[in-house]
């Protein structure tokens, strides 16, 4: 917890990675300690950390972790073809083919549907081969 409301002149640094660092100016040192109960560091939600002397760091949100992991490219009656997001700089995504058949279908029907739909998916891939770099 913060001890009490404190106003300080500060220097603010905006980092390339999205972090923000706030440093109290030298003439504001007499206003320390800022944190209560002798705690050297207080953490808040959203990645805000306040140190005893008033230095504050705000970490950026870790973006990209909660969005959709897959982009649907193509669908058949019982299958979805999905592509993962690009993971790192320039690293291409991967393809994922997911078949879903109802449990009530007999095995022979599932196999025949699998063969038909896999041919359909491969025909789609072959038609897109020259246009799309995976």
Q: Are 92 and 133 in contact (CB under 8 A)?
A: yes
Whole-model pTM? 0.45
Q: Going residue by residue through the chain, which has 134 residues, state the pLDDT in tens, using 9 for 90 and above.
A: 565 666 777 778 887 777 777 777 777 676 666 666 666 777 666 677 777 777 777 776 665 555 667 888 889 999 999 888 766 666 667 888 999 999 999 999 999 999 999 999 998 888 865 555 55
The residues near 40 (Cβ < 8 Å, ≥ 6 apart) are 51, 52
For residue 57, the model assigns a pLDDT of 76
Question: In this predicted model, what pLDDT tens digit does every residue of 67-84 receive, in sequence order?
Answer: 667 888 889 999 999 888
User: Nearest 5°: CA angle at 60, between 56 and 62?
Assistant: 140
Round to whole Å and give the CA distance between 40 and 101. 57
């Amino acid at each position: 917890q913060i001890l009490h409301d404190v106003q300080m002149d500060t220097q603010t640094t905006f980092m390339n990675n999205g972090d923000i660092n706030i440093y109290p100016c030298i003439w504001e040192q007499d206003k320390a300690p800022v944190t209560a109960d002798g705690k050297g560091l207080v953490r808040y939600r959203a990645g805000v950390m306040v140190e005893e002397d008033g230095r504050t760091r705000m970490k950026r949100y870790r973006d990209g972790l909660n969005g959709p992991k897959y982009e649907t490219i193509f669908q058949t009656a019982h299958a979805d073809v999905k592509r993962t997001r690009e993971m790192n700089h320039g690293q291409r995504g991967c393809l994922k083919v997911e078949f879903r058949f109802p449990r009530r279908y007999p095995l022979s029907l599932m196999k025949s549907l699998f063969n038909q739909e896999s041919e359909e998916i491969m025909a789609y891939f072959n038609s897109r081969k020259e246009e799309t770099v995976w």
